[in-house]
Structure 1
Amino acid sequence: MKITICGGTGFIGKALSDHLLQQRHEVFIITRKKPETEETEVKYLTWEQIDVNPALLEGTEAIVNLAGSSLNQRWTPKAKKSIIESRLSTVMAVAKLVQALHQKPEVVVQSSAIAIYGTSRSDTFSEDSPEHVVDFPSSVVKEWEDAAELIQGVRLVKLRTGVVLGTNGGAFPLMKLPYTLGFGGRIGSGMQWVSWIHLQDMVRLIEFCITDRDIDGPVNASAPEPVTNNQFGQTIGRAYHRPHWFPVPSFLMKTVLGELSLILLEGQRVIPDKAVKYGFRFDFPTLRQALENLKGH
């Protein structure tokens, strides 16, 4: 298949492009700036090029939109504006591209996040759960998904992603760091849920959503066994043979990170009902299996 990835040079995008190439797909990447050294297997295009000449992507069978500024920055008013605008602008650019193509792609997989369910320590959320705007992350995702409705005339998948675990980016290297230094422990109460997914399963799930024509709408990109923050830390400690003993109080996280501390102090228990229903099999369904694999990389 000819597959186009928007945001294909980031943490998930790079892993996805590598995976798709291994599966012998033809990969195009749309990015703000072409890399200085381009991989011969991947074809890079800028947003400006696509805006001027969308015909460059005629024949594209699937578009995966992963583009958007990271939430992992202090949420100043300027940063909040950038986070929202970067998501909305790329969604609108994809909608414009789809509209301009004479031969429409079969599917658009649009990145989203599990924050859309709000936070809870008692509820479990599936794709059928209602959206619940309670804070900045959930409001961002609600606007993001609403904007995605502008993408018309194709099968649309909204991939609601949890914490993606990999060794070369994302949150995991920072989550693991206190343990390698000998100071790992629960954050806040430790009772908040962490819904996670191994990077390998993440890219496989994206490909699964592309190739299974029955899948559309929201899809939870999270492993079938979410854990609490305390359980997450205990599992890291066991995997890396480090103690889990040094709790970090909530007030300290709020002082250091400000509003961004919400990501660490609150959470949601999300299960991948739709992926399982359609027959997706996780390579790493449990956190222990995921961490044992990551430890070897």
Structure 2
Amino acid sequence: MKYVICGGTGFIGSELTKYWLQAGNEVAIVGRNLPTAAPYHPKLSYHTWDSLKADHATLENADALVNLAGASLSQRWSPSGKKAIMQSRLATVSAAAKLLDSLKHKPSVVIQASAVAIYGTSLQDTFSESSPAHVMDFPSEVVQTWEEASDEAYQDIRLIKLRTGVVLGNESGAFPKMKLPYLLGFGGNIGTGIQWVPWIHLTDIVRLIDFCIQNPAISGPVNATAPHPVTNEAFGRTIGKVYKRPHWFPLPAFLLKTAVGELSEILLKGQRVLPAAALEQGFSFTFPTLQAALEDLKSQK
């Protein structure tokens, strides 16, 4: 199989690349710049958006395109920051669509990154892929606009909108920052602790992407979250249990808001999201429970 990954040098893209190369597949990574110290592999190639304008022949006959590119939400949401976040997502969708249009032999499926923020936040409700979008804050606005642009851009092709939760891995993403206070002996609730955390292990999101590509019956939104979401308090207590650290030192909401501004809303509010589409299609999670996921991450270090 031959795969194209836009944003393939990032947290999820790097793991996905390793997964596919180990299975004997060919992987082409597309980004704004070429990596400075890229590992060599005979079936791995790197391309920039600019270089593909002149020569896109190497991407012909790809089986799937995965678009993971876009500026991180984990930055202060100043007016310029918000603009950059929105524009980067729309720009990468547009660039990927133009790339597809230039190919004579197009891939049969596109996996487009999205996020569970599209459902809005709630302490009581449970969300699945059939739940409507609820624009109530900046993240939900970004994701709805992102998905609408994807629907417009990738027409006449099977499109999967991968709505990710908090992806847990050791090298990047949110987990190292969530774990650090516990390792320092100051772990505890963020705010009230009753807000939900929809999470997924890095291994499972990589497997889920591959599963969606291999199963033509899957299209539309797919929640990339584990089947057992937990509250912030339960998440913290599980970190404490696995890493043998106390859970006792709460971070008051007002301090978090002072430190990071509006970005604090991601941590202080949440949503209980279930992976109904993946489960209905027979996907089996390697790490369905948080304790098993964290024990695996601990064993890797």
- Give TM-score scaled by structure 2 length: 0.97
Q: CA deviation at 1:97?
A: 1.4
What is the match of residue 20 of structure 1? Answer: 20
The 1-side partners of 2:258 and 2:277 are apart by 39
Question: Residue type of the partner of 2:171?
Answer: N
What is the match of residue 63 of structure 1? Answer: 65
What is the match of residue 92 of structure 1? Answer: 94
Q: CA deviation at 1:67?
A: 0.1
Alignment of 1:1-297 (within 5 A): 1-41=1-41, 42-149=44-151, 150-297=153-300
Question: Residue type of the partner of 2:5?
Answer: I
Question: Residue type of the partner of 1:144?
Answer: W
Question: Residue type of the partner of 1:102?
Answer: K
SS at match of 2:123: coil
Q: CA deviation at 1:53?
A: 2.6
**1:57-99 deviation per Cα after TM superposition (whole angstroms, max 9, x unaligned):** 1111100000001111111111111111111001011111112
Question: Residue type of the partner of 2:67?
Answer: N
The 2-side partners of 1:36 and 1:264 are apart by 34
The 1-side partners of 2:213 and 2:39 are apart by 23
Question: Residue type of the partner of 2:95?
Answer: A
Question: Residue type of the partner of 1:44?
Answer: Y
Q: CA deviation at 1:54?
A: 2.8
Give the gaps of 5 or more residues in structure 1: none
The 2-side partners of 1:36 and 1:255 are apart by 37
Question: Residue type of the partner of 1:280?
Answer: F
Instruction: Count residues with an aligned counterpart.
Output: 297
- Would the aligned equivalents of 1:99 and 1:152 in 2 still touch at CA under 8 Å? no
SS at match of 1:4: strand
Question: Residue type of the partner of 1:76?
Answer: S
Question: Residue type of the partner of 2:166?
Answer: V
SS at match of 2:34: coil
- Would the aligned equivalents of 1:95 and 1:152 in 2 still touch at CA under 8 Å? no
**1:8-62 deviation per Cα after TM superposition (whole angstroms, max 9, x unaligned):** 0001110110011111111000011111233322100001112233333111110
Range with bigger deviation, 199-208 or 95-104: 95-104
SS at match of 2:70: coil
Range with bigger deviation, 95-104 or 255-264: 95-104
**1:100-141 deviation per Cα after TM superposition (whole angstroms, max 9, x unaligned):** 211110100000000000000000000000000000000000
Q: CA deviation at 1:181?
A: 0.3
Question: Residue type of the partner of 2:3?
Answer: I
Question: Residue type of the partner of 1:271?
Answer: L
The 1-side partners of 2:56 and 2:94 are apart by 14
Give the gaps of 5 or more residues in structure 2: none
